[in-house]
Chain A
Amino acid sequence: AQSVTQLGSHVSVSEGALVLLRCNYSSSVPPYLFWYVQYPNQGLQLLLKYTSAATLVKGINGFEAEFKKSETSFHLTKPSAHMSDAAEYFCAVKGAQKLVFGQGTRLTINP
């Protein structure tokens, strides 16, 4: 069965600093992996996805993620944080007919 673990339920960075949100996955088949963002009182929005093409995936809002099979990781990064990046971020792996989500990481940006 597929699963994901997001390391750190809360991450706080300063505006302009590097953002790193960690996600490790477990999958018995080559995985399809996703990152979503959720702003307060809104639905989830797809940031990016990995579907076995390039291991470095670029998404919206300047985010990118790198698939590392040897580490079973799919960490999300952004070189310079903006105040507007404050949100909840979810990592997910494709399962049978559904996605399996991590517990989420709340990102806070300090001015």
Chain B
Amino acid sequence: SQTIHQWPATLVQPVGSPLSLECTVEGTSNPNLYWYRQAAGRGLQLLFYSVGIGQISSEVPQNLSASRPQDRQFILSSKKLLLSDSGFYLCAWSVVGETQYFGPGTRLLVL
């Protein structure tokens, strides 16, 4: 069966520091991969999605970037964190853009 992992589960970082969040999927090949953010009290905001290795689509211009170095690995990065980057980050996968399956999330607090 398929599983999706995200780490770390929780992260506290100072403003201006770099960020790297990792997401990996097991049990499927060539999935679509997605990064979402939920700010406190807000809905889901799609940040990036990828349909294959090295293919990244950005939904919202911002301080973040994404990479997909391997088929089942999706990384969210920032060179310098802002206070507004705080939130709950969710990774998801799907096959052919249909049902998405979500990871457990990473809680990021920027101080």
A42 touches B (CB below 8 Å): yes
B2 touches A (CB below 8 Å): no
A92 to B, closest residue via Cβ: B100
Count of chain A to chain B residue pairs whose CB atoms are closer than 8 Å in the complex: 51
Report B-chain residues with C-beta under 8 Å of the C-beta of A43. Answer: 90, 92, 102-105
Interface size on A, as a range, is: 20 to 34
Main secondary structure of the interface of B (DSSP, over half): strand
B86 touches A (CB below 8 Å): no
Interface string of A74-98 (1 = CB under 8 A from B): 0000000000000000100011111
Main secondary structure of the interface of A (DSSP, over half): loop
Report B-chain residues with C-beta under 8 Å of the C-beta of A26. Answer: none
- A103 in complex: contacting residue of B43, B103, B105, CB < 8 Å: B43
Report A-chain residues with C-beta under 8 Å of the C-beta of B100. Answer: 44, 46, 99
B57 to A, closest residue via Cβ: A97
A41 touches B (CB below 8 Å): yes
Shortest beta-carbon distance from B97 to chain A in Å = 4
8 pairs from A and B in contact (CB 8 Å cutoff): A42-B104, A43-B105, A44-B92, A46-B100, A97-B32, A97-B97, A98-B34, A98-B49
